[in-house]
Each structure stands twice: as structure tokens, then as C-alpha cells.
Structure 1
Amino acid sequence: MRRLGGLLGSRANISTSKSLTALDEPAAYVELAEAELSKGSSPFHKLGLSTALFLRAVLGFEKEVMEKAHACLTDAEETASEHQRRAVRDPSKAHQSKIYNAGAEYALCHAESQLMSAVVAVLNESLTESLKGFYKLRKAFATLHDISEQEKRYLGRTGRGPGSSQVSVVTPGSGRETPGMSSGVLTPADSGEEEEDEDDFVDAKESGSAPGTPPFTHQSGAVEGDFENLSLRDTATNRRNGGTPPTNTPIELDSAAAEADQEIDFRTITSDPIDLFIHSGTALCFGLLQVILSMIPPAFARLLSLFSFRGDREAGLRMLWSASKFKHNINGAMAGLITLGFYNGAVAFCDILGRGAVPHTRLRNLLREMRELYPGSKLWLLEEARMLGADRQVEKAIAIVDQGQSSGLKQVNALRMFERSLNCMYAHRYEECAQGFIECVGMNSWSHGMYYYLAGSCYVELYRLHKGSDAKLAEGYAAKAEEYLHVVPQHVGKKGFMGKQLPFDTFVGRKIKKWDFRAEKWGCRMVDAVGMSPVEEMAYFWSGFRRRNVEQLRTSLERLAWSEDVKANPHWERESADEKATLAMLRATCYRFLGEIPKAKATITEGVFSHDLAEVKACDFPDTWSLPVAHYELAVCYWDEAGGQDGDRATLQKCSDSLLKVERWESYELEARVGLKITTGRETLRKCGISSP
């Protein structure tokens, strides 16, 4: 156990003199880590191996890697479950902790395996497998809550702090928090008979309990209660009242309790490496769960409501920051990567944000520490590039991604190439962008249709740029554009998410049909039937306008203006309403980022809202997304016009009213791409005291 504690407490010493971490990417290290971890049969070896395969799976979305990861994760779950049962049967032979119950380290391994398995299941193309993944998510949540409660009780007994529990579990009608929760790893019951940990989708013990029926109690003392009112909301009052909330209503987190949580450094509580592993792992997993559940689009949230989950972003981020303090173990490294990724890849590109929503200094310090600790990792370079992109320095972001040699993991190389290509698109470096996405086809099997579409769209832009000055060069670009765009239909529909075609595949497949239809109808070649700039449209969906500097935004306006130039584009007079609405919406976005708010509002009103939904739907293969998204853009204009959270209340209410219109809109293509922005905007307004009717 001591040797195992050393394994978990710092960098992974895996039977050699070399020191590895799960985030080192050079091929030799990755292969060495997987080979060495494969030799061990403990839950920790299997969790480590599963984590390595999981990272490969989620970075590359390759089906064969996901299948291998799923098999390995299932093995890790079963092994952790068996070790946890043994520890409960004979605690004297288990790790002796003053904080956690016997076998808690194995329960955590089981929960982490379940969480990763749930992600892999959701990425699977089967709806049934996705639902099974949510069931595992639910079981993992119960485990994490149980461990968190053990930790809170210890801190309460020793007077060391308010505790670290981030959840409130309420049984229906009782108004009281259950004493504990099932670990999700079924342990021997009081009768002495051993319970099996089932992976079947139906959980009879939970669904079969009638109201008023005593909850099923495990030998460990944990209680398996009703999940209907299970909430991921942090309740500061709950902690102050010793774990019993006064009502079933979720209680908002107060800032004083948040600061108290941040002041607790668990390394001052214990030096036991196993306990530190349990604490950091619980903080990582619980934090990640809450953040993910807090940012899902409304439509997806309705599905998750079947599993009684609700997230709290602030509580989740606090836990991730806490876990990131343990930088020398896998939990801390993963927490750091997730925290940076969340801010640099999600929040940084939201528009309606309060003061301090992005802790820039703290993020830069975290990135600097991680780069110093893991100098060989290319993932940190990727995060630095994203941070530069958020600062509207895409040229520097491209240069950062180009630094150093290639990674030993092809999935990481694919991510770097994808990020570089996107930045080239934002910087209007179309040829490099196209070549980069074509390279992505050979590096990643996830969405070739989208890669070909993006490359073809760049060549459309190059064709338009040179059409009036160099006919031969323009013809070459036109041929490439049509070649790649006509390859798109061969690659859409082959990948799925929860049993449905990928949203981008649906989108690009429809666009190709639209352009081919127009080409036949208008009697022209396909490249001349393309409407307003598809590159600018794609840049919007990838939050590229926010990354552009003033010069790049003005170039975007020039590229959008091409459509209305009757000399360059003789088809403008017959252009459809949906194309005109989309053109106006993108132009207004450029004006907004240039600070020309009145002009942006006028362009939305006159160029987008002058077309109603029925008119847009009547177009051939219509683009309907610009109308609802224009309401979001108008909401951001009001937010900027008000001056943010402390601005004019009437203007902020207009912001809320515009946001409500897009929230209530019918389903439209790629709505998930703006879903996080809408969710974040609503939460920001709520904190400002501005609510929807």
C-alpha cells in the first residue's frame, strides 16, 4: 500500500526509474505507460490504462479506439467493485483512513471508470448505449456524493472547516437530506449475501421503491434513496445547518461560503497520499459533472431531467480549481486541463458575461505552472493558443501551435491541426486553412464531411478573390472547390451522436443539395451558385468573429460585401430571402465587435427581421438559423449598449426580452453551437436581477 501511495501521490513511478504522467504525449512515454500499466492488475493500474485509452478516444472520436476504451473501462469498473467489496467485508485489511470509509479509494476508481464509460457511451452512435451511459453517470454521482459526505463529516468533527460537500440530496416530502447515498458499487447487505453490481439499464431497487418505503441500506451505512429530487446545487446554508436544509428548495450559494471553501487546502488536513488522491479525484469528478450539467442546451437538458440531474457552474468550477492544486497527480493535471479548456474554449467566447467571469490572471498562472511541470505536453501549447485566440491574437495563436515537434499521439496532432486551421480561417488565410482541413481527413475519422466542406468553402472564397484579376488561378480554385464540396455527401451520415446524425453533417449535407439545386435552376456551375460567404458563416458558428481583430473584422465585411456586388455576382438580384437574412446577421455581428452598436441593431432590424419565418422557410433548402440567432445578437447589442451588469436596467430588460425570444424558438440547425452562449447569458442576467417574464 505504501508503494501504491507513492504511485498516486506524485508522478507515476511505474516500475522503472523514469517518471511519467498521464498527460505526457511523446510516443515512447505513452507506449511505455500503457505497457507498464497493463502489467498490473490493481484497480489503479486498470484505471490508469483506461484513462490513457479514454483520452485517445475523446481526442480522436475514432470508433475502434472507443470500443477498446469501453472494454478496458468495463474491466476497471469490475475490478474496482470487487476490491471495494473486499475492503468493506474486512476493513482491517484495507487502507486505514481517518477521513474515509474502508474501500473509498476503490469506490472512487469505480466512479471515475463509470464517468469515462458514460462519456464513451454517449459518443457511441447508439441511443440505447447513450441512455445506459446516463445511468452510469447517475450511479457515479451517488458514489461521489457518498465520498464527499464522508469528507464533510470528518471536517465537521475536527473543526477544520465547513466541509467540501457540493450537493444536496432531498427525499420527497421529507424536507431532509438523506444521511448518505449509495456508492454505486453495491456492497454486501446485512444478511451477509453478496450483491452484484449490475450494469443493466433498469435499477430495480431505485425504481421499485414506493413513497414512504424505507431506502435500501448497504452494510457501509449508505442509503440508496429516491433520485427524483437529487440536485447538484451547492447549498451553503445546508452546510451551516449540519447537512439538513430547511426545505426542498435549492438554496443559492453565498459568497462567504465560497471563499471559505477556497481557503481550505486539503494538504493541510492530511499528508496521506491515498486520502489526497481520493480528495482530488472526488473534486475533479464532481466539479466536472456540475460544470457539464450547467452548460448543456435546453433540449438536451430535458433528456437529462429524466435522470434528475441539475448542475451548478460556480460550485463545479470551485471544485475543479481545488483539484488543480494537486498538479503532480492525474487528478490535478486533468482538472487543470479541463479548467483551462472550459474557460478558453467555452466561456471566453460567450458574449453576455459579468465582471470577473473569466479569471484571466489565475488562468495564465495555471497555464504557466502546467507548462513548467509538463514541458513536453503539446496540450498546454494548444491551451495557450486558445488563450491567445480569446485575446484576438489569432496570428500569434497559429505561431504557438506550430512550435515544437509533433506529438506522439495522433489525436493530439489532429487537434492541433484543427485548431490551426480554424485560426487560419479567422485570419483569412484561406489556402492554409483548406490544406489544414484536408490534412485533418487523414488524421481523424470523426467528421470528414465537415472537413471537406470547410476546405471547399475556402476555395470558394479564393475563387471569388481572384475571379476578376487572374482567370486561370481562379479556375483552379473553382475546380478544387467543386471537387471537395461534391465529396461531402459521401461522408455525411456515417457518424452519429445518440442515434442521430451529427448536426454539422446534417447542415453541410443540406447546403450541398441547395447549391446543386440552384446551379441547375440558374443554369450555372455549382461554385457560382453558392450564396453569401460560407466561410464567414462557419466562422460565426465556431465563435471566430470574437477572435478577430479590427483589421480582420473589416476584411470580413469586405468578403460579405462581395454578394451584393452585381458585377462580381450577377445572381444577387435573384438571391433568396434566407441568404439575405444570413448576410445581414453576419454583417451586424461584425459591426457589434467593431463597437458600432447602433449600426448593428439597425442592420438586424432592417436586414433580418424584415423577413419572417414563413418567407424564409419557403426558400429552396432554406437556412432558417439566422432569424433566431439574430434575436441573440440583438440581446448582446442591448447588453453592450447598457454597459454590462451595472448598466441601465431598462436596457438590460430589453436584453432579457430578446434572449427569451430565441430561448422559445423552435428547433433550428446548429442551435447547440449557440446554446451555451444563450445559457450563459441567461445566468448572467439572473445574477444581475434581470429575469425573464
Structure 2
Amino acid sequence: MRRMGGWLGAKAGQSTSKSMTALDEHHALQDAMTSAALIINDEVEQAELQLSKGTSPFHKLGRATAIFLRATLGFEKEIMEQAGARIAEAEESAAEHQRRAQRDHSTSYQSQIYPAGAEYALCHAEAQLMSAVIAVLNESLTESLRGFYKLRKAFGTLYEIHEAEKTYLRARGMSRPGSKSSSAAPSSTSLASEPPPAYSDATRKPAVDIKGTPDAKDTPSGVLTPTSSDEDDDLEFVDAEDGKDMPPAADKYRGHLDMPNMKNIKLDDADVNNSTLPNTATTTLPSAVEADSKGAAYEAEQEADFRTITSDPIDLFIHSGTGLCYGLLQLLLSMIPPAFGKLLSLFSFRGDRETGLRMLWSATKFKHTINGAMAGLITLGFHNGAIAFCDILTSDAMPEARLRNLLSEMRSLYPKSKLWLLEECRMLSRDRDLAQSVSLLQNAPKSSLKQVDALALFETSLSLLYLHRYEECADSFVKCVGMNNWSHAMYFYIAGACHVELYRIHKQKDAKKAAMHAERAEKLLREVPAHSGKKKLMARQLPFDVFVGRKIMKWDARSKARGCSFVDAVGVSPATEMTYLWSGFTRMQPSHVEESLSLLAWSEGQSGWDAEPADERALLAFLRGVCQRFLSRPDLARSTLTDSALCYDLPKLKACEHPDTWPLPVAHYELAVLHWTACGGEKGDKEGWGKCSDELAKVEGWEAFELDARVGMKVRTGRETLRRVGGSGT
């Protein structure tokens, strides 16, 4: 196997387009970025048409980005194959142009900040990141491993660009926007008189060692080091059997570049004088302010604005693109669930959430370009999704005013895009205004991307589940089956679960309606096995497919053993269970939670409840304890979880047929949340934080269980929060 490291991937001698002069570069970048911005405004076909007229690496990266969005939003195999081919073309073009820039500086742009060809190195890294995502979404384990390798190479490239920028700024007593330190001592050698060193042609130790950690001793700051151009093709990967020899779960949760009038920019964009470079810069956390009713007012984060350092479009492209990509990588790597921890440890990935978020926020300053818009979309998605679903957080984890202002700016800049409307609806859901969220999505115009419509339909379906509008929810999930190729088994399962609840609601009131819903429920649930396992990730079944498939087998076995209908064999409220697993309780009004409690009571009211196996009893107690927590009844929630759920041990649950064992470890997480809240959160004491930490440790030390990645992210966030407040976060 060839030496790993470096970032060049194109074969020497290949030619994709003629060399560009420095002036050509600026024109090509301007045209490509103007066209690519159409993508984020839901004008994808127009963007692709405009981008297809150019042959520069910037144009090819833009075209690759357009089809990448289609592929990742819809998971359609044919589109992913097309995306792979277009991304590979972008990779090759970027690598070739970087090589030319390295060899002949006179024909390429010379930055005072970055090494020659850094703009192409960034394009190559962005293409590698997209290629890695496509590879991981591929059903082949071999392709997934190739993807992780490319991810590591992109990480190394971005790190080196980031370090070159930091070196330049340190020499002037400034800090990079998004960096942790507020300032650095100036270098004894000024870099103003000449550009940073070009890439070395010599064979040397790679700038990123085999563990993925940049080697500071052997890498001059500001130097990107190429390696063998055909190393990707010589990786000794072979096809592996599906699901075989997979690493086990980890033991621990281990522009448009014409710069706008700065006075007209409302978010983090101050009126600046580009002719004067500041001698110092400070980096502080956002000031605490109260949002107005629209959430538009806030005080911006006080950090160096890169436009006061350079006004060159290529430098700004490199800066914003690095902030987007390196920030995203840092963020994602900080959230890796335990199921992937063991695999990623082979590549020695490490991430830092705070650094990632700072870099993404910094990139959003360039929101009129696709780099800034994508950074905004990721930042909003992270807070409205991942963070909104976590419980052990500090008060500054959700910068409400800043997020709402960012969303307002993006919707104004890109009024045609349904992606921003989707984020607005997620924000409404986070505000527990589910009805308004559903209304906006149902009445929204269609997107030019059917994949975005599918995403909106899925979001609508979940909100209908949380609103207990079961008939609408079931119909909506059935429509999802025809919209994308992701988890059809789960769509059918939730639709069937909705009709189970309707059957139970009408059973004592309207026998005819109950029979109709029972028939519909069984028909939908019987579809689940036929679709389970059809879609795979890294040669493994999707976690939810495994979960719902086991549930159907469990109910089938109960039906045969008890001589009852399939629907009557269904256990504790499946709709309430799915609501918890999709973090729905955080979005529900108290009245909705009360309704969930009544659904749980149905099972306990049946004549055969006393004979129910331990896993069903533990599941009901767990879900009831969760409802009590969200109804602000902490003492009752704690006693229910401790006395009625955790009173069963794991061996007893495992002895049940097709058992539900996941409530036990997740009950410990719920207790951790209760301890965190009881002690006052970040304002609490060491004793309360210690109890919270102890419960998290029980989840961390648990064996692999169903859907552990979902709670794994919450546990990891909890650990990070405890670390920040000084409460045993290690």
C-alpha cells in the first residue's frame, strides 16, 4: 500500500482544462460563486446550467455541490452514482490546477496569506469531503472505508490552510476569527514583504502523520505538501462481506464576490475600512442580550472580521471555505456516537465542538456566497436539531437572538429556498408551536428539489405524530415512501403504529371504526419485514430498520402464543415509544404529553397486564417517567424510573422473547437529566454534578444496545457540558 498522507489525488500528466492566469482566476471564481449561490436559493437547475458553461475547478466544484445536495437529501442510488462521478471530476481538476500553481507562480494568484494554490487545495478538500459522505452512504463497507480515508486527507489539508492563516495573523498580533486564543505574540519575521512559501516538490515526511495529527516539527507553517498523485488508486481495500468483521461499539462514548455595501449588512457585518489593518483583535463570547419578539436584536460576537485584513475575493473564498469545511468537520467529529467511535479511532479523528461552531459562525459573515450560506444552514440545523434534542446544556448553548437573526437574514437573501423555511419550522417546533410549523410546511410551495420536499414531508409527519393527529400522520408517512429511498420500513412502521393507537382509541366507542383501523394497522405493519434491510449503511442494516423489524417479530410471536389478532398482540404504545426515540417530547405542549400518558394507561388497563413480561413493564414505566419529567414532576419521574423501570435487571429483560432492553440504559440517562435539573444546572453544586456524572457513566459503560447512537450524542453532550462547568466531565 502506498504511503498515506497529503491531499493530491489526480494522476500526473492528466489535463482537464488549460492553465489560468491570476486575472482568469478572479473572473472564474466570481462567475462560479455567483452561479453557485443560486443553489442555495432553490434555483438548482439554473445554477447547474450556468456552472456548466465554465471549466475551472470552481465551476466543477459548484456543479458537484449541486448534485451532492440532491444525493444526500434523497439517498437515491442513481443520483449518488452521478454525484460520485461529478465529484471525482472536481477533485481531479482541483488537484491539477494546484499542481500548476505550485510549479509556475507567475501564472497564478499569489496570496500574501496562503501558499500558492491554496484556493485549489480548498476545492480539492471540499470535493474529498463530499466524496467521503457519498462513500459512507454507499452500502459497501469497502467504499465506506475509502470515504473515511478521504475524510482524513481533507482534514489534513484544511488544517494546513488554517495554520497558514493563523501564522499570518500571529505575525500581526491578530487572531483568526473562530480561534480560541484572543491574540498571539507577533512573529519575529514579518510576512508582509513576500507570500508564504510555495508547496515543496521534495519528497518529505507528510504534513499529517499516520495518526492524522499534524507534525509541527517537520511542517513549516504555511506549507501544503503534496504526495504521490495516484495513492488513492493503490489502496489495498478488498470487498468485505456485509456486516462481517465490523468493529464493535466503543467501550466509552469516547462571492457572488462583489463585496456589498457593508452598511447594508445586518448580521455581524460592520462598516470597515479595508485600507487599515488593525494592530490587535479580540475574541470574546457573544454578549448576553434579550431578543425582541422577532428575535432580531443581538450584540454581535466581537472578533476580527477577515474583511479588515484582506479584500481579495480569492483570499476571502479560502477563508470562508475553510471556516465552513474545517468548522463542520470539527463539529461532526466532536459528536461521533459510540457505534462509530471504534472505526474512527483507526483514523485518529478528533474534533472540538466550540472551535467548530466559532468557525462556522465566522463563515456566516459571508452569507451572500454559497460558503457562508451553507455555514448558516449547518449552524441553524445543528442548533434546531442536535442541540435542541439534548437536555444537559448550559444556558448559552442556544444563542436564540443570534440564530433568529441569522435565519431572518438568510430568508431575506434567499427567498425562494424551502430549506430556510424548513429551518423556520424547526425553530417553531423547538418553541413547541407544532401546529404553526405543520401549517407552514403544508402550505409551502413546492421546491425545485424533490429531495427538499421529501425532507419537509418527513418533518411534517413527525410533527403530526407529536400532535397526536394520527390519521394525518399515517397518510403522511405513507407518502414519504414514494418520496425517497431511505427507511421505508420505518415509514410503514410509524404509519401502522398510528392506526394501532386509533384502533385502541375507538375500540370501546365505535367497533366499526376500530375494525377499520385494526385492518389498516396490520396491513401497514406487515409491510415492514419486506422493506427491512433493503437500505444499508456501511454494509449494515439501518438501526431503525433493525429496531422495527424486531418489533414485528415480537408481536408476531405474541399473537401466535396467545391466539389473538396481530394488532391485539402489539405492546406498550408504539406511537409514544417512537415519539421518545425521535425526541418529540421536547417539542410538545403539556397537553400533548398528558395525552401520551393516557395512551400508556391503555396497556395497564388491559386484563392481561399482570402477565406481561418484564420488558413490557419496564418500557411502560420508562415512558411514563419521561412524560412526568416533561410535565415538571421531577420527584414522581425519578421514583417511577428507579422503582418501576430500573427494578428489573438486564438478564431478566434478556430472558423475554424478542426483548426491549434499551429502556434500562436510557433510564440512567433520564436520571442524569433529573439530577442536572435538580441541582440548578450550570449554577449547581459539585454534589449534584457528581450524581449526574455517575448516571452518565452507567450509560457509557453499558453494552451495545438498540439505537444507542441516538442517546450517545446526548450523553456526549452532557459530558462536554459537565466538563465546561467543572463537574467531572472527563
Query: TM-score range with shorter-chain normalisation?
Result: 0.7 to 0.9
Alignment correspondent of 2:57: 43
Structure 2 residue aligned with 1:148, among 162, 166, 169?
A: 162
Does 1:69 find its partner at 2:83?
A: yes
Does the Cα contact within 8 Å between 2:115 and 2:222 map onto a contact in 1? no
Determine helix, strand or coil for the equivalent of 1:263.
Answer: coil
Does 1:388 find its partner at 2:409?
A: no
Does the Cα contact within 8 Å between 2:177 and 2:303 map onto a contact in 1? no
Does 1:133 find its partner at 2:147?
A: yes
Alignment correspondent of 1:581: 618
Alignment correspondent of 1:198: 231
Does 1:553 find its partner at 2:629?
A: no
Alignment correspondent of 2:40: 23
Alignment correspondent of 2:342: 302
- Report Cα offsets for 1:393-450 as digits up to 9, x if no partner: 1112112222431111110000000000000000111011101100000001111111
Structure 2 residue aligned with 1:378, among 408, 415, 418?
A: 418
Alignment correspondent of 1:422: 462
Does the Cα contact within 8 Å between 2:384 and 2:426 map onto a contact in 1? yes
The AA in structure 2 aligned to 1:22 is I
Does 1:5 find its partner at 2:45?
A: no
1:180, CA displacement in angstroms?
A: 4.4
Query: Matched residues in 1 for 2:602 and 2:116: separation?
Result: 69
Query: Matched residues in 1 for 2:223 and 2:389: separation?
Result: 37
With normalisation by structure 1, the TM-score equals: 0.86
Query: Matched residues in 2 for 1:376 and 1:6: separation?
Result: 27
Structure 1 residues 413-562: aligned runs within 5 Å: 413-562=453-602
Structure 2 residue aligned with 1:83, among 88, 94, 97?
A: 97
Q: Do the aligned partners of residues 155 and 9 (structure 1) sit closer, same or farther apart at CA in structure 2, a change above 3 Å counting? A: farther
Q: Do the aligned partners of residues 356 and 174 (structure 1) sit closer, same or farther apart at CA in structure 2, a change above 3 Å counting? A: closer
- Report Cα offsets for 1:20-45 as digits up to 9, x if no partner: 522122xxx32222233223221111
Determine helix, strand or coil for the equivalent of 2:432.
Answer: coil
Query: Matched residues in 2 for 1:198 and 1:102: separation?
Result: 22
Q: Do the aligned partners of residues 618 and 185 (structure 1) sit closer, same or farther apart at CA in structure 2, a change above 3 Å counting? A: same
- Report Cα offsets for 1:248-283 as digits up to 9, x if no partner: xxxxxxx97555995111111111111111100001
1:157, CA displacement in angstroms?
A: 3.0
Q: Structure 1: which 5+ runs fail to align? A: 188-194, 205-254
The AA in structure 2 aligned to 1:37 is L
Determine helix, strand or coil for the equivalent of 2:394.
Answer: coil
1:690, CA displacement in angstroms?
A: 1.5
With normalisation by structure 2, the TM-score equals: 0.82
Query: Matched residues in 2 for 1:466 and 1:259: separation?
Result: 54
Does the Cα contact within 8 Å between 2:28 and 2:58 map onto a contact in 1? no
Does 1:632 find its partner at 2:669?
A: yes
Q: Do the aligned partners of residues 495 and 44 (structure 1) sit closer, same or farther apart at CA in structure 2, a change above 3 Å counting? A: same
Alignment correspondent of 2:372: 332
Query: Matched residues in 2 for 1:343 and 1:7: separation?
Result: 35
The AA in structure 1 aligned to 2:683 is D
- Report Cα offsets for 1:190-240 as digits up to 9, x if no partner: xxxxx4242146499xxxxxxxxxxxxxxxxxxxxxxxxxxxxxxxxxxxx
RMSD: 2.5
Q: Do the aligned partners of residues 177 and 398 (structure 1) sit closer, same or farther apart at CA in structure 2, a change above 3 Å counting? A: farther
Query: Matched residues in 2 for 1:7 and 1:631: separation?
Result: 56
1:156, CA displacement in angstroms?
A: 2.6
Alignment correspondent of 1:675: 712
Query: Matched residues in 2 for 1:141 and 1:183: separation?
Result: 15
Q: Structure 2: which 5+ runs fail to align? A: 1-21, 182-206, 238-280, 287-300
Query: Matched residues in 2 for 1:416 and 1:652: separation?
Result: 39
Q: Return the structure number with greater relative CO, CA threshold 8 A, min gap 6.
A: 2
1:93, CA displacement in angstroms?
A: 0.1
Alignment correspondent of 1:54: 68
Query: Matched residues in 2 for 1:516 and 1:161: separation?
Result: 62
Structure 1 residue aligned with 2:138, among 120, 124, 127?
A: 124
The AA in structure 2 aligned to 1:24 is N
Does the Cα contact within 8 Å between 2:283 and 2:303 map onto a contact in 1? no
Does the Cα contact within 8 Å between 1:151 and 1:164 map onto a contact in 2? no
- Report Cα offsets for 1:564-617 as digits up to 9, x if no partner: 112xxx332321111111111111111111110000000001111111111100
Alignment correspondent of 1:615: 652
Determine helix, strand or coil for the equivalent of 1:610.
Answer: coil
Does the Cα contact within 8 Å between 2:357 and 2:379 map onto a contact in 1? yes
The AA in structure 1 aligned to 2:67 is L
Q: Do the aligned partners of residues 79 and 394 (structure 1) sit closer, same or farther apart at CA in structure 2, a change above 3 Å counting? A: same
Query: Matched residues in 2 for 1:163 and 1:591: separation?
Result: 43
Does the Cα contact within 8 Å between 1:24 and 1:377 map onto a contact in 2? yes
Does the Cα contact within 8 Å between 1:156 and 1:163 map onto a contact in 2? no
1:3, CA displacement in angstroms?
A: 6.6
Greater CA deviation, 477-486 or 29-38? 29-38
Alignment correspondent of 1:103: 117
The AA in structure 2 aligned to 1:23 is I
Greater CA deviation, 509-518 or 96-105? 96-105
Structure 2 residue aligned with 1:94, among 97, 108, 123?
A: 108
Does the Cα contact within 8 Å between 1:170 and 1:177 map onto a contact in 2? no
Alignment correspondent of 2:204: none
1:652, CA displacement in angstroms?
A: 1.9
Does the Cα contact within 8 Å between 1:631 and 1:658 map onto a contact in 2? yes
Percent identity, aligned pairs only? 59
Query: Matched residues in 1 for 2:429 and 2:369: separation?
Result: 29
The AA in structure 1 aligned to 2:232 is D
Does the Cα contact within 8 Å between 2:40 and 2:373 map onto a contact in 1? yes
1:304, CA displacement in angstroms?
A: 0.9
Greater CA deviation, 645-654 or 556-565? 645-654
Structure 2 residue aligned with 1:645, among 682, 687, 698?
A: 682
Q: Do the aligned partners of residues 339 and 102 (structure 1) sit closer, same or farther apart at CA in structure 2, a change above 3 Å counting? A: same
Structure 1 residues 177-188: aligned runs within 5 Å: 178-180=218-220, 186=226
The AA in structure 2 aligned to 1:54 is F
Q: Do the aligned partners of residues 434 and 163 (structure 1) sit closer, same or farther apart at CA in structure 2, a change above 3 Å counting? A: closer
Structure 1 residue aligned with 2:391, among 343, 351, 358?
A: 351
Query: Matched residues in 1 for 2:436 and 2:674: separation?
Result: 29
Greater CA deviation, 157-166 or 536-545? 157-166
Does the Cα contact within 8 Å between 1:81 and 1:107 map onto a contact in 2? yes
Query: Matched residues in 2 for 1:501 and 1:493: separation?
Result: 5
Does the Cα contact within 8 Å between 2:593 and 2:627 map onto a contact in 1? yes
Query: Matched residues in 2 for 1:78 and 1:266: separation?
Result: 30
Query: Matched residues in 2 for 1:480 and 1:407: separation?
Result: 31
Determine helix, strand or coil for the equivalent of 2:717.
Answer: helix
Determine helix, strand or coil for the equivalent of 1:295.
Answer: coil
Query: Matched residues in 1 for 2:540 and 2:336: separation?
Result: 17
Determine helix, strand or coil for the equivalent of 2:40.
Answer: coil
Structure 1 residue aligned with 2:331, among 286, 291, 295?
A: 291
The AA in structure 1 aligned to 2:437 is A
Query: Matched residues in 1 for 2:345 and 2:223: separation?
Result: 21
